[in-house]
Amino acid sequence: MSDIRIRAERPDDREAVYDINAAAFPTETEARLVDHMRALGGPTVSLVAEDDDGVLGHALFTAVTVNAGERDADAGLMALGPLAVRPERQRDGIGGRLVQSGVEACKAAGAAAVFVLGPAEFYPRFGFEPAQDRGFFFRNRQFDPHFFVLPLKPAALEGLSGEVVYAPVFDEA
Ligand SMILES: CC(C)(COP(=O)(O)OP(=O)(O)OC[C@H]1O[C@@H](n2cnc3c(N)ncnc32)[C@H](O)[C@@H]1OP(=O)(O)O)[C@@H](O)C(=O)NCCC(=O)NCCS
């Protein structure tokens, strides 16, 4: 395996990022979602993994809010998703590298926490905890076993709990 590098997405990565998301997920929903979020702008961290053969994986982190009666748009909350690695290159550590680099980028940007909806076999190894333990949930409690949070500034989360709300395009995609 040639050296894997993680770097910020560039404009000329758009097609490769679309292809990776379309190949990794059953439908093109996630690929389109990434395009929509890119068009909206806003606070995002979008990373790619590449080697000498090209782009192998992609991770998107976008801003979310907590709907706790009143919206807290300034809490610096981010959510990871989608995360995708080319099917033929999965289980080689690339997804993990993207998660770790993305979390570091969110931390450097001053984020208080990163949420993720995903497999319990994957995310706890990076320090993600069940979000329900801190009073956060995604849409409804049925997602509790799959919804995680990684606190980056635990003090900033004190007194904050409730539904974690993603950008509307996540519902429309
Ligand atoms: C999920 C994904 C990004 C992981 O990337 P990756 O490069 O394969 O991950 P890594 O090699 O860093 O880690 C692999 C480990 O994660 C586990 N893992 C990965 N995806 C998993 C899943 N969907 N369910 C359970 N475990 C999973 C593997 O069992 C493996 O564990 P092991 O090392 O103990 O054997 C990749 O499998 C993928 O693109 N999947 C399809 C898209 C998807 O489901 N993304 C959303 C996840 S929220």
> Tell me, what amino acid is at 154?
P
pLDDT for residue 42: 80
Q: At what angle do helices 29-40 and 14-24 cross, to 10 degrees?
A: 150
Rounded Cα gap, residues 20 and 31, in angstroms: 8
User: How confident is the model over 87-133, as pLDDT tens digits?
Assistant: 999 999 999 999 999 999 999 999 999 999 999 999 999 999 999 99
Strand partners, 115: 79, 149
User: How confident is the model over 16-36, as pLDDT tens digits?
Assistant: 999 999 999 999 999 999 999
Of 91, 97, 123, best ligand 1 pocket probe by most atoms within 8 Å of the beta carbon: 91
User: What is 5-172's CATH superfamily?
Assistant: Gcn5-related N-acetyltransferase (GNAT) (3.40.630.30)
Cα 148 to averaged position of ligand 1 atoms, centre (Å): 15
Tell me whether strands 129-130 and 113-117 are parallel, antiparallel or unpaired: unpaired
User: How confident is the model over 48-89, as pLDDT tens digits?
Assistant: 999 999 999 999 999 999 986 554 545 699 999 999 999 999
User: Does residue 23's CB lie within 6 angstroms of at least one atom of ligand 1?
Assistant: no
Specify the pTM: 0.94
Q: 11 and 50 in contact (C-beta within 8 Å)?
A: no
User: Does residue 93's CB lie within 6 angstroms of at least one atom of ligand 1?
Assistant: yes
pLDDT for residue 71: 46
Provide the residue ranges of all domains of the chain, joining segments of one domain with +. Answer: 5-172
